[in-house]
């Protein structure tokens, strides 16, 4: 009788430990994919993807434009497993803020993919050390050609508090000591070098870990 009770207690304890272990794995996985993701962040790709690339991003940053095609290819090749989250750092001041406002307006019109692709592809035509009216007009011209309703977008920007959004972005930027763009995190792990192959490898490893954790649940 005592032996039977002891065995039941041991079995219960074992099951409790196993359940805790599986739960901890699930929580760790969910925390990883949501690391540094704000409820206001732009998310490209499958919103439920287990792997999240967070990019601290300036639309006027040449390095961001150079990395953008590689990031898009990763999303294309891993459409179910990977999503991209953009966090803003307006390092180029006026022209960066103008482009960020346009990108936010394009999200409101469900045009963010088209507008963002066009701005990155034609970035060299609108970025200069000192933003002029010509460059600012060029940003709007590119966005309009990508399908953005300009009148609606300008109305949105007037009502939206872009400065408040950027202030909130700066909090996480400072906490993570992010000082330049692009800066990438994959499920919370920081990419050491802005190298397309290293980013691809980190994503591949994270996908593999995600699948392993899922199979163990």
Domains located in the chain, CATH noted? 34-216 (3.40.30.10)
C-alpha 33/C-alpha 18 separation (Å) is 23
- At 23 the pLDDT is 37
Question: Prior bond to 26 cis, omega within 30?
Answer: no
DSSP H stretches of helix in the chain = 2-33, 62-77, 94-108, 112-121, 133-145, 150-159, 162-175, 196-216
- At 13 the pLDDT is 42
- At 213 the pLDDT is 78
pTM: 0.84
Intervals of the chain under pLDDT 50: 9-10, 12-30
- At 214 the pLDDT is 72
C-alpha 25/C-alpha 19 separation (Å) is 10
- At 217 the pLDDT is 58
C-alpha 149/C-alpha 29 separation (Å) is 39
- At 2 the pLDDT is 52
C-alpha 86/C-alpha 101 separation (Å) is 14
């Amino acid at each position: 009788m005592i032996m039977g009770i002891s065995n039941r207690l041991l079995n219960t304890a074992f099951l409790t430990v196993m359940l805790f272990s599986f739960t901890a794995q699930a929580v760790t996985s969910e925390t990883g994919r949501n690391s540094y993701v704000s409820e206001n962040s732009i998310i490209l790709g499958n919103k439920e993807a287990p792997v999240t690339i967070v990019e601290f991003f300036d639309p006027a940053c040449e390095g961001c434009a150079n990395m953008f095609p590689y990031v898009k290819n990763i999303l294309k090749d891993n459409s179910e497993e990977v999503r991209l989250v953009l966090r803003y750092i307006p390092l180029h001041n006026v022209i960066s803020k103008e482009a960020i406002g346009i990108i936010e307006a394009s999200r409101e019109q469900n045009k963010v993919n088209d507008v963002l692709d066009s701005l990155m592809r034609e970035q060299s035509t609108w970025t200069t050390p000192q933003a002029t009216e010509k460059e600012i007009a060029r940003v709007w011209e590119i966005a309009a050609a990508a399908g953005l309703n300009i009148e609606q977008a300008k109305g949105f920007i007037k009502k939206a508090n872009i400065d408040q959004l950027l202030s909130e972005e700066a909090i996480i930027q400072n906490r993570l000591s992010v000082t330049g763009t692009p800066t990438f995190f994959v499920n919370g792990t920081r990419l050491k070098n802005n190298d397309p192959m290293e980013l691809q490898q980190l994503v591949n490893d994270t996908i593999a870990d995600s699948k392993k954790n899922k199979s163990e649940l």
